[in-house]
A and B are shown apart, each in its own frame.
Chain A
Amino acid sequence: MENFIIHKAATRGLANHGWLNSAHSFSFGSYYNPDRMNFGVLRVLNDDTVDGGRGFGDHPHDNMEIISIPLEGDLVHKDSMGNEAIIRKGEIQAMSAGTGIYHSEFNKDGSAPVKFLQIWLYPNKRNVTPRYDQVKIDTAERNVFHQVLSPNANDAGVWIHQNAWFNMGKFDQGAETTYQLNDKKNGVYAFILSGNVTINGQALEPRDGMGIVADSLTVKADTDAEILLMEVPMEL
């Protein structure tokens, strides 16, 4: 049986902190909508724009799998594990907060804004040892999905403490593909980065989100498009 829910871009919670503009697909910070708490273990999907030279100062996290995907510009990351890194467009960062970490993230550029997705998944185990990972993602080949995250250390992309798989892809207008789930008990949250897309018959626009529980997805690009698929367990 197929179930789905669509979160139109304009219905997301908006937060304007001056230096930070964020659109929250799910309840976050002062945006609280009891009907928008999570999709399975996917708890946070923040679409952030940070002004030049600004960022998030040192702050703590625990017991969360935190994924950052730059869409425009570069981020400077520092954390209490001693990691210092620049995360660029075309890379993905994963952090297992576990028993607790402190980190900061700043726009590397002094003037141009940086845009990135901040995604949080509940971990499959509490209080793991904190860890950090960052890899390049190659989505150059068009009209196919590329895996950028999985539960397996030896698989493509970063790995996390959760039975989840992320895929990204750029599609030409008219291209159609099918996504088969890695675990049939999972659901998929599709986030449209750009363009117009139809998934399992539902028309979606830029920054729309669609949560789907189905055996497979049929994805059709109605215009040139870029898509992020997040396959996640539906049970917390």
Chain B
Amino acid sequence: MKKIEILTICAHDGILQTIKRLINNNELWNSTGAIDIQEAIELAENKDFDLILIGSGLTAADEHELESVLATRKNIPVVKHYGGGSGLLFGEIHQALSGR
């Protein structure tokens, strides 16, 4: 079965690794991490993602650009993650994937 591909962008590497680990604990999901907007856009140009998760540490302009480039141009849902790889992560992903 094809996994749900999730691109996670977070400037805090420790939190990024935590989020990736938590996502990848679900055998139906696969997370690829990016530490900044440039890396995120490059990854999105070369791989199809089902969901973009924006973590902490990006500027408001970067967050806006990510939403603009990835959500609008590539039609990928973008979710702002809150909490830092904690108890909210799965709810955010489920909600985004169900289009609620």
Which residues of A are interface residues toward B (Cβ below 8 A)? 27-30, 32, 34, 37, 43-44, 59-64, 97-102, 120, 122, 126-127
Contacts and interface: CB of A to CB of B under 8 A. Distances in A.
Interface of B: 10-12, 14-15, 18, 55-60, 63, 80-88, 90-91, 94-95, 98, 100
Contacts, number: 80
Nearest to B60: A126
A28 B15 contact: no
Given A30-B90, A100-B56, A120 B98 contact: no
A81 B60 CA distance: 24
A139 to B, nearest CB: 28
Given A34-B98, A98-B56, A99-B56, A64 B63 contact: no
10 contacts: A27-B88, A28-B91, A32-B94, A34-B98, A59-B18, A60-B12, A62-B84, A99-B12, A100-B57, A126-B60
Contacts of A127: 56-60
Contact of B84 (A28, A100, A122): A100
Query: Binding site of B, secondary structure by majority: helix, strand, loop or mixed?
Result: loop
Contact of A126 (B14, B18, B63): B63
A114 B97 CA distance: 37
B62 to A, nearest CB: 10
B95 A60 contact: no
Given A34-B98, A100-B12, A127-B57, A64 B90 contact: no
A61 B91 contact: no
